[in-house]
Amino acid sequence: MKSPTSLAGRLSRASFLILVLFAAWIAAPFSLLAEPPQPEKAVSGPCVRDAEWMRRNHMDFLKHKREETVREGIAVKSESFVACATCHTSRERFCDRCHAYVAVAPNCFECHQYPK
């Protein structure tokens, strides 16, 4: 027969675990439960890459283009920041929606001004 203290000890540990898990669930940011934001669609033509590729790789693509342009002097007008802003006309409805959702502050706008 088991002693009542071992059963009470197990119950108190289980209660503590449940309490901790409940507190973590309450403290979790509600944005994690929200649907991902839908950025505004481009106003014209196809993008330089397909949409799914750009969602996953745009940060590396933009960094690579920056390096080519600044360090090597290779500027491709159709793949420039201005070209992005021409089709995606609102920084707030395109860039900022997703960046706010994932809590990322890109440094693009330290140098670049999004056209109004």
User: Tell me: the pLDDT tens digits for 43-61?
Assistant: 887 888 888 899 899 999 9
The answer on 25 and 4 residing in a single domain is yes
Name which of 30-39, 42-51, 96-105 the model is least confident about: 30-39
What is residue 26's predicted lDDT score, i.e. its pLDDT? 72
From CA 113, how far away is CA 116, in angstroms rounded?
9
What is residue 60's predicted lDDT score, i.e. its pLDDT? 94
- 105 in a structural domain: yes
Lookup result for tokens 């706010």: 100
What is residue 30's predicted lDDT score, i.e. its pLDDT? 59
The answer on 50 and 96 residing in a single domain is yes
The answer on 95 and 43 residing in a single domain is yes
From CA 28, how far away is CA 40, in angstroms rounded?
28
- 63 in a structural domain: yes
What b/e readout covers 38-72, taking b as 16+ CB neighbours within 10 angstroms? ebbeeeeeebbeeeeeeeeebeeebeebeeeeeee
The answer on 40 and 27 residing in a single domain is no
Name which of 13-27, 80-94, 101-115 the model is least confident about: 13-27
Structure confidence by residue, pLDDT tens digits, 105-116: 988 888 888 877
The answer on 81 and 40 residing in a single domain is yes
Say what the pTM is: 0.61
The answer on 46 and 3 residing in a single domain is no
**What value does the mean pLDDT of the chain take?**
83
The answer on 90 and 107 residing in a single domain is yes
- 27 in a structural domain: yes
**Average of per-residue pLDDT across 59-77:** 92
- 116 in a structural domain: no
What is residue 109's predicted lDDT score, i.e. its pLDDT? 85
Which range marks the domain in which residue 54 is found?
A: 35-111
From CA 84, how far away is CA 106, in angstroms rounded?
15
